[in-house]
């Protein structure tokens, strides 16, 4: 039994008692006043009947009239003369109309019984009786009132039981999704995020269940990506670390033949540690970007200037490989709100990739204006990317060819950083590629609004 | 709801109906199977009215929502 269920159950019981008890009282009161007035009327009618009978009777029959009424029914009768004195009566000897009036209640001292009584004027008769009084004992009422009370109690109990029965069903229906939700939430709390909260209804409970499911899914994804991220980082660190370990051991043990070889080892160690530093920096930056609290130094900048600077920086490396880099920008490009350093980081990440994965041919950088956006296109004539890899290349640590990329010094974070940065600038990045023919990256950055100076 | 959970609910309702039948005999004082069943039917009829009305309202509401869902 859960407590919400009990609370519902208890409240219904409480409500019914609150309503039924006063209702019962009022119904009982209505019936008793109705009965009383009914009895009064009956008594008066009876008195009138007896009074009407009187003139038709002779001496002997008068006693019979009194006896008939007092013995065959629970009622009593009294006959009064002109002076107000009681002449004949049955069981109500001490009654005196002068003291009590024509109608009302009377308690007999001898028997202790209570009566309603009524008076009727008698027509002139041979007994000198002017008034007839008929007495109806109150206990006539009492019996039927007790029965009525019993009936009311039965009906009240019945209504409470019925209400409880239906409340039972309703409460079960209402609380069963709550219970399953609570069970699921408890399981989630212990770390089992695969549970699904059943969300069938369309009310608040249903939407609560749906939000819980969503939360669990997000949490699961978060947990998975974190796990993946950690394993990726440790994997990425392991390779350079094992190099460093191996070469430093070789140096320590003197496993080299010439000073030249020794120098080579030192260089390798230096390179690897350099790579690790870069990797750690990249990971750190990337994680900051993903948490959405990456500080950007917003400025109003001309994107083409930044792009040109990036191209100039990459040119020496390109020239070494014999690759031509061309730069072309529309003459009147609008300014954009951006962090110049970060935009340059985007461009240089892409350009570095272009140079790295292009062996002959050229790289073209073109900037143009499209509606309210600045489109920066970086096309190369390099190796291209297989279609199966295309959807993933912006993911952290994703490389199409692990060993080759490593040889170029890539960690697989360049494009992930570029995408995060572009998104921080409210822009978007996309790629088109054909294996063996080249790759083209498109970066769209929103231009600053005219009035936003 | 499981079968086991229906038992107390049905018990409550049956007892409730019985309690509603009793006043008839307290007041008339005659008890036999025939009049008992007749009284049970009467009570069930009055219980059935709200259930019936609720059912109709629910059906209408559901139908209207479905037709609304189709158009939008
Ligand atoms: N211009 C390009 N031409 C061909 N392949 C590319 C190009 N740019 C990126 N890629 C592919 O995308 C992968 C991810 O790039 P990136 O995130 O910069 O990692 P990294 O350069 O360290 O390998 C690269 O490993 C490469 O396979
Ligand atoms: Mg790269």
The CATH class, in words, for A4-144 is alpha beta
Q: Quote the pLDDT of residue A405.
A: 66
pLDDT digits (tens, 9 = 90+) for A256-308: 899 999 999 999 999 999 989 989 999 998 888 888 778 899 999 999 999 99
Domain of B28, in residue numbers: 3-71
pLDDT at B29: 73
Q: Report the nearest atom of ligand 1 relative to the CA of A415.
A: 17
Number of the ligand 1 atom closest to the C-alpha atom of A400: 27
Sequence-ordered list of residues with C-beta below 8 angstroms from that of A82, at least 6 positions apart, any chain: A128, A130
Taking residues A74-79, what's their average pLDDT?
Answer: 84
What the block records as the tokens of A309 is: 């600077």
How many degrees, rounded to 5, is the angle at CA A29 between CA A26 and CA A32? 155
Residue contacts between A and B (CB atoms, under 8 Å) = 64
pLDDT computed for residue A297 by the predictor: 93
Q: Name the minimum distance, in Å, from the CA of A136 to any CA of chain B.
A: 22
- Any idea which fold A299-446 has? Heat Shock Protein 90 (3.30.565)
* pLDDT tens readout for residues A130-169: 888 888 888 777 777 788 888 889 999 999 999 889 888 8
Inter-chain residue contact B26 with A154, CB threshold 8 Å: yes
Q: Which CATH architecture has domain A204-290?
A: Orthogonal Bundle (1.10)
Q: What is the ipTM of this complex?
A: 0.85
DSSP per residue, A231-285 = HHHHHHHHHHHHHHHHHHHHHHHT--SSHHHHHHHHHHHHHHHHHHHHHHHHHHH
pLDDT in tens, B5-22: 889 889 999 999 999 888
- Mean residue pLDDT across chain A: 87
Whether residue A202 is predicted with pLDDT greater than 90 in this model: the reply is no
Q: Of the bound ligands, which one is closest to the alpha carbon of residue A412?
A: 1
Residue A2: per-residue pLDDT: 66
Separation between Cα atoms, residue A359 and residue A162, nearest integer Å: 87
| Alpha carbon separation from A146 to A33, A114, A139, B26, B30 (Å, rounded) | 14, 17, 10, 10, 17
Q: Is the pLDDT of residue A430 over 90?
A: yes
Q: Where along chain A do its domains lie?
A: 4-144, 204-290, 299-446
Express each pLDDT in A56-76 by its tens digit: 777 767 777 778 777 778 888
Determine the 3-state secondary structure of A91 from DSSP.
Answer: coil
Lowest mean pLDDT among A88-92, A141-145, A180-184, B20-24: A141-145
Q: What's the gap in Å between the CA of B47 and the closest CA on chain A?
A: 9
Q: Mean pLDDT throughout A93-97?
A: 75
Spatial contact of A289 and A335, defined as CB atoms under 8 Å apart: no
Give chain A positions within 8 Å (CB) of B19. Answer: 154-155, 157-159, 161
Which pLDDT score is estimated for A453? 46
What total of structural domains would you count in chain B? 1
- pLDDT for B72 beyond 50: no
pTM for this predicted structure: 0.57
């Amino acid at each position: 039994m859960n407590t919400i269920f009990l609370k519902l159950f208890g409240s219904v019981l409480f409500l019914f008692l609150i309503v039924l008890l006063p209702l019962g009282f009022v119904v009982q009161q209505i019936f008793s006043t109705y009965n009383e007035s009914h009895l009064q009327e009956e008594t008066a009618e009876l008195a009138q009947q007896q009074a009407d009978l009187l003139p038709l009777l002779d001496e002997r029959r008068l006693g019979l009239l009194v006896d008939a009424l007092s013995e065959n029914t629970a009622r009593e009768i009294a006959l009064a003369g002109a002076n107000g004195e009681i002449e004949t009566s049955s069981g109500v000897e001490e009654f005196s109309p002068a003291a009590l009036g024509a109608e009302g209640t009377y308690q007999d001292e001898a028997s202790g019984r209570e009566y309603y009584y009524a008076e009727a004027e008698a027509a002139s008769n041979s007994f000198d009786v002017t008034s007839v009084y008929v007495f109806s004992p109150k206990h006539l009422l009492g019996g039927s009132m007790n029965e009525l009370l019993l009936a009311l109690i039965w009906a009240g109990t019945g209504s409470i039981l019925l209400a409880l029965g239906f409340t039972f069903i309703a409460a079960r229906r209402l609380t069963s999704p709550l219970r399953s939700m609570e069970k699921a939430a408890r399981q989630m709390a212990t770390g089992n995020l695969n549970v699904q909260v059943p969300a069938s209804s369309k009310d608040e409970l249903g939407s609560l269940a749906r939000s819980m499911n969503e939360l669990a899914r997000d949490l699961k994804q978060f947990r998975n990506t974190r796990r993946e991220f950690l394993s990726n980082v440790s994997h990425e660190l392991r390779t350079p670390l094992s190099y460093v370990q191996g070469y430093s051991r070789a140096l320590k043990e003197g496993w080299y033949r010439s000073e030249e070889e020794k120098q080579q080892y030192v260089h390798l160690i230096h390179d690897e540690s350099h790579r690790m530093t870069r990797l750690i920096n990249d990971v750190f930056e990337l994680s900051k970007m993903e948490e959405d609290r990456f500080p950007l130094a917003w400025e109003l900048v001309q994107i083409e200037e930044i792009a040109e600077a990036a191209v100039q920086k990459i040119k020496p490396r390109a020239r070494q490989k014999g690759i031509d880099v061309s730069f072309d920008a529309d003459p009147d490009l609008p300014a954009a709100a951006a962090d110049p350093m970060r935009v340059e980081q985007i461009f240089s990440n892409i350009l570095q990739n272009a140079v790295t994965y292009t062996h002959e041919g050229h790289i073209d950088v073109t900037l143009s204006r499209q509606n309210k956006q600045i489109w920066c296109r970086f096309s190369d004539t390099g190796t291209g990317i297989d279609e199966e890899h295309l959807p993933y290349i912006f993911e952290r640590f994703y490389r199409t060819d692990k060993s080759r990329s490593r040889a170029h010094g890539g960690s697989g974070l360049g494009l992930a950083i570029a995408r995060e940065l572009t998104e921080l600038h409210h822009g978007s990045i996309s790629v088109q590629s054909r294996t063996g023919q080249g790759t083209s990256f498109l970066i769209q950055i929103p231009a600053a609004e005219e009035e936003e100076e | 709801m499981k079968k086991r959970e229906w038992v107390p609910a049905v018990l409550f309702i049956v007892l409730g109906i019985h309690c509603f039948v009793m006043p008839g005999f307290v007041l008339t004082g005659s008890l036999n199977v025939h009049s008992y069943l007749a009284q049970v039917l009467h009570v069930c009829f009055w219980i059935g009215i709200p259930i019936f009305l609720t059912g109709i309202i629910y059906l209408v509401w559901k139908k209207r929502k479905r037709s609304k869902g189709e158009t939008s």
